Amino acid sequence: MRITRVLSTALLALGLAAAPAAADSTPSPSASADVKVPVSAGTSFRTAAEIEQGQTATASGSTGDYMYWSFPADAKQRPTVKATLKLPQAHTGQTWQLDVYDGLRRRQACQYGAQTHTAAPGTNSLELACVLRTVRSWAEPWANDPLPGTYYVRLTAVGVKTADLGLPVSAELRVDSKNMGGAAAVDGSLSEPLVPGVSVTKAEDSKASLFSLEPEDGWDSGWWSSRWVWTGVGAILAALAGIGGYALTRGSGRPSRVPPGA
């Protein structure tokens, strides 16, 4: 009977832990309907068009131009950036490239995805994708790990022939994220996310942000993750195992042998 109660308690604890752990692995929520979707792209880092995750932004430009967007990414998210291009009738093949930079303008490597793609002459559309590494809440200063804050997307054609420069092109860009949960948690967090700012001359020394968008639930504090739940469950199970072992080994409470002459 005692063993049954021990197992029942352990299963209940595991069930309670499974809920927040499962929530950590769900995709990021869709963008708010109140945020206006940009219909043009910036021409530099400072003028990058802001988009939320879950939005599909559009832009028109010319072959040879740089197109810039920015989006917020928080700790434990693994962003996926996808771009779809509608190409003009070019004289030669065109090579397009999608680059992603963090708030410090460090180019971030893609885990997988067609980051660079060459379209043959006569191709009408082209798709590019970049799946970033999971954003960490903290990293060593010398590391190039992705950190919470603003991320930039730059889309451009590379090695364009002179005859194709200036041809019209249209693009669609979308960013989605998967929440990697406690498996991606680390000990430590940034004091502030890496959101670029500009100094403002006032009576007080202050700083205004160049970009206003942030995650729907605010920036992650960095200390909570499902790892805390599993650590607590482990401690509970260890205590229950100790109680169960004691119950199994203590017997009926009477001596197993009666001393002679008793």
The per-residue pLDDT for range 120-131, each reduced to its tens digit, is 888 899 999 999
Secondary structure of 153-221 in HEC code, one letter for each residue: EEEEEECCCHHHCCCEEEEEEEEEEEECHHHHCCCCCCCCCECCEEEECCCCCEEEECCCCCCCCCCCC
- Both structure tokens of 71: 């989006």
Conformational region of residue 64, where left means phi above 0, alpha means psi within -120 to 50, and beta covers everything else: left
**pLDDT of residue 159 exceeding 60:** yes
User: How far is Cα 16 from Cα 141, in angstroms, rounded to an integer?
Assistant: 37
Q: In whole numbers, what is the pLDDT of the chain averaged over residues?
A: 77
For a pLDDT cut of 90, what percent of the chain falls above it?
38
Q: How confident is the model at residue 32 (pLDDT cuts 50, 70, 90)?
A: low
108-155 per-position pLDDT tens digit = 999 999 899 998 888 899 999 999 999 988 888 788 889 999 999 999
Q: Which amino acid is at 218?
A: G
How many Å from the N-terminal Cα to the C-terminal Cα in the chain?
33
Domain boundaries, the chain: 29-222
Note the pTM of the prediction, 2 decimals.
0.70
29-222 classified as CATH 2.60.120:
yes
